[in-house]
């Protein structure tokens, strides 16, 4: 079965800007002290659908991995940075440091266990984390497509200052 040439062109048009941004950020991160950062393509990621339920996405997206710190996902409608905190650090975390950012907080072992997002009061997030059996807590930060690579790089450099790791 051969793929239609128009379909290949459409896929190239969709993926080219994502890959170019990923390569640009990879270069910046390597120059900023993360020489082991790598770029790959991964499918099977989950995203919330219009009903607020998580649904698996079968198609691959570029993912930049910064060892021991985070993954940067280059989706078609946003950029995501996924990282985590140890349970004790998550319970003591100053969520005020994240003001102005969009994020979701969820389990690591049970990654479909949703603890809340930036609209939830910090006390509610802590209660949800405390009521879980998770030893680590995942954070996914969402950035609009217009976010510059420099802003993403700066945010990634901010993560270890707050105790985030991967």
Model pLDDT for residues 65-95, shown as the tens digit of each residue:
999 999 999 999 999 999 999 999 999 999 9
Q: Residue 1's pLDDT is what? A: 58
The pLDDT of 101-115, averaged and rounded, is 92
How many domains is the chain partitioned into structurally? 1
How far is Cα 122 from Cα 68, in angstroms, rounded to an integer?
26
Confidence of residue 111 (pLDDT cuts 50, 70, 90): confident
Phi then psi for residue 163, to 5 deg, are 90, 5
The pLDDT of 122-141, averaged and rounded, is 96
pTM: 0.92
Structural domain harbouring 112? 5-162
What CATH number should be reported for the domain holding residue 28? 3.30.930.10
132 vs 21, 55, 70, CA distance in Å? 37, 22, 22
CA atoms within 13 A on the CB side of 155: 26
């Amino acid at each position: 079965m051969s793929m239609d040439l128009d379909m290949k062109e459409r896929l190239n048009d969709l993926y080219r800007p994502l890959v170019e941004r990923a390569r640009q950020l990879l270069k910046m991160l390597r120059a900023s002290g993360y020489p082991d950062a790598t770029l790959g393509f991964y499918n099977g990621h989950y995203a919330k659908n219009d009903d607020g339920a998580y649904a698996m996405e079968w198609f691959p997206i570029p993912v930049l991995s910064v060892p021991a710190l985070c993954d940067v996902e280059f989706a078609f409608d946003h950029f995501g940075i996924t990282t985590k905190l140890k349970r004790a650090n998550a319970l003591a975390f100053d969520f005020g440091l994240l003001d102005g950012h969009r994020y979701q907080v969820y389990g690591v072992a049970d990654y479909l266990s949703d603890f809340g997002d930036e609209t939830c009061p910090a006390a509610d997030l802590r209660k949800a984390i405390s009521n879980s059996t998770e030893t680590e807590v995942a954070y996914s930060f969402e950035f609009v497509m217009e976010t510059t690579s420099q802003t993403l790089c700066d945010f990634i450099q901010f993560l270890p200052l707050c105790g985030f790791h991967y």
